[in-house]
Amino acid sequence: MLETLSNALERIIKKEGDITSMLVYPLLLVVVYEVFMRYAFNAPTTWGFEATTFIYGLHYMFGLAYTDAYDGHVKVDIFTALAPEKVQVFLRILTNLIFFMPVFFCMTLWSVTYAYTSFSGLEVNPTSWAPPIWPLKILMALCFGFLLIQGIANLLKDINTFKN
């Protein structure tokens, strides 16, 4: 049961990562266009740098849960590497419950509140281009939600491993 639920949650995260990895293409187009306009015509755009920052930020945020699904984040395991697997799994469960879950539950909750406040006021970025920024804040909250879901999947997987 735990393994089935964990695998289902991971499939969602991996599909999300596969889809949002395509953000690299609009990012590439914006960067190439901006560089071309700046150096070929000496006419930089007012929106190029900001659009690059927004797209890259989303690409990065969506990639957090995806990277965790493939166990790609850097870990310092010098203290646990020589321990038996059961001890390693127990410590992963413990650190997930003590550090990861409370932090990312709060981050998800606060980012949803932050996005709601931004959406309520139809917030725009205070720059000369002034794009609406509330959609980005909603997507940021969604990204924290995905990371929390991946943390739950990891926890369920570790509990299942510990039981067996």
- pLDDT at 22 > cutoff 90: yes
Mean pLDDT along residues 52-77: 93
Q: Are 105 and 142 in contact (CB under 8 A)?
A: no
- Count CA atoms closer than 13 A to 35's CA, side-chain side: 7
Global pTM? 0.90
pLDDT for position 164: 85
- pLDDT tens by residue, 36-64: 999 999 999 999 999 999 999 999 999 99
Q: What residue segments make up the domains of the chain, in order of their start?
A: 2-163
Q: What distance separates the 2 farthest-apart alpha carbons in the chain?
A: 65
